[in-house]
């Protein structure tokens, strides 16, 4: 009796494992040859060295080089100091647009942040980067008790 139950159990496990393997091959990723394709001019925007409080707005220019309209569903910064704004309307094939990124330049130090784009493009998730350095503003020294203009 034990041998019969063991044989039935092994047969059942074998059948389930074969079906599971067949299911995995049935779920192959099919790529749409006409899908939208997002092509950026650059993946990195370098702010360079800027002064604290300077304009932190930059943009990533891109073009839909695919055959279907490009829809950007989301863009998120890696922290609250990096705020992206993206086009909400579909970008037709061959058209260009941009994603604007506002960095909070009140913070001193190195900039090394990312912006993650989610879209219907062949590359559904794209990570863009901003980098640079924010320095304290230059000030001119003020003379105390200095003499006024000399009159002759």
- Residue 34's pLDDT is 86
pLDDT digit of tens for each residue in the chain (152 aa)?
667 655 665 555 555 554 444 444 455 556 788 899 999 999 999 999 999 999 999 999 999 999 999 999 999 999 999 999 999 999 999 999 999 999 999 999 999 999 999 999 999 999 999 999 999 988 776 666 555 555 55
What six digits make up the tokens of 73?
């569903």
What six digits make up the tokens of 126?
């794209």
Q: Where are the domains of the chain?
A: 38-135
- Residue 143's pLDDT is 64
- pTM above the 0.75 mark? no
Assigned CATH for 38-135: 2.60.40.10
C-alpha to C-alpha distance for 129 and 113, rounded to whole angstroms: 6
DSSP 37-55: -EEES-SEEEEEEEETTS-
H-state helical runs in 86-152 = none
What six digits make up the tokens of 14?
């074998």
């Amino acid at each position: 009796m034990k041998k019969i139950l063991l044989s039935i159990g092994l047969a059942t496990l074998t059948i389930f494992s074969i079906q599971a393997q067949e299911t995995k091959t049935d779920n192959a990723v099919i790529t749409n040859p006409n899908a939208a394709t997002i092509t950026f001019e650059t993946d990195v925007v370098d702010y360079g060295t800027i002064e604290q409080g300077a304009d932190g707005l930059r943009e990533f220019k891109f073009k839909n080089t695919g055959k279907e309209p490009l829809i950007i569903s989301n863009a998120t910064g890696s922290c609250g100091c990096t705020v992206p704004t993206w086009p909400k309307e579909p970008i037709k094939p061959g058209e260009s647009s941009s994603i604007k990124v506002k960095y909070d330049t009140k913070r001193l130090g190195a900039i090394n942040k990312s912006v993650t784009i989610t879209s219907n493009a062949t590359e559904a998730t794209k990570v863009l980067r901003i980098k640079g350095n924010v320095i304290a503003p230059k000030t001119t020294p003020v003379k105390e008790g200095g003499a006024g203009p000399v009159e002759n």
